Amino acid sequence: MSAGNLFDLTGKVAIVTGSTKGIGRAMAAGLADAGASVVVSSRKQELCDAVAKEIANETGAATLGLACHVGEWDAIPPFVEAVRERFGRIDVLVNNAGINPARIGIVDMSLDYWRKLFSVNLEGPLRTSQCVAPIMRDQGGGSIVNIATMAAYSGGASICAYGASKAALVNLTKSMAQEWASWNVRVNVLSPGPFMSEMMEGGERTAPGFLDLVANGTLMKRIADPGEIVGPVLYLASDASSFVTGDDISVSGGMQK
């Protein structure tokens, strides 16, 4: 295969959870631009439909807006089956949906809060991958990309549940890669550093100087644009990474793990 075709996803079908805004939307649009049919998913059907239509208009790709709350274990199998029925296959799964609703210290953390974060950030990717991997196996293979965070490696004050859930996701990724290598299902993790988002903008509004503080935590001294996640996810989703599985790639401007 020539270098020019390594990133081509023509004929492939990709699911991106949490893809109606931020890096999720950027990844969905990037995969569509590479030729994939893309499933745009988040909790609200109207928003999924709107973003799916936008991406279709931008890229010319086939898209499907399909809501699913990945924190609800039993909602995931019918979601995956609906995608399979629509497109006949699933080649790429990007487990991007995640939450970090509030900064809560360890002493003040409730069990309900802890379980809420783990249900979305860890159990969601687990259940979605459980449902998708056998489909990939039966069609000859596929790629699963889990989205973690640099907070998985260093922890941080008031983000205990978020960091712990993502650290568990990194570990889960390596286990999935080992179990499913014989199925030709590759499983890798991307760990973003600071990307511009509504959460970042909100942090600056409530604490002026927040953006500069976060940017200075990177070697490149800046916050990334959401579009800068596209190259790394396209690499892991495509044949460009055909001999890569169980790996953990940071996209963080040089932050240290």
**So which residues are the catalytic ones?**
162
Supply the DSSP string of the chain, one letter for each residue.
Answer: --GGGTT--TT-EEEEES-SSHHHHHHHHHHHHTT-EEEEE-S-HHHHHHHHHHHHHHH---EEE----TTSGGGHHHHHHHHHHHHS---EEEE----------TTT--HHHHHHHHIIIIIHHHHHHHHHHHHHHHHT-EEEEEE--THHHH--TT-HHHHHHHHHHHHHHHHHHHHHGGGTEEEEEEEE--B--HHHHHHHHHSTTHHHHHHTTSTT-SPBPGGGGHHHHHHHHSGGGTT--S-EEEESSS---
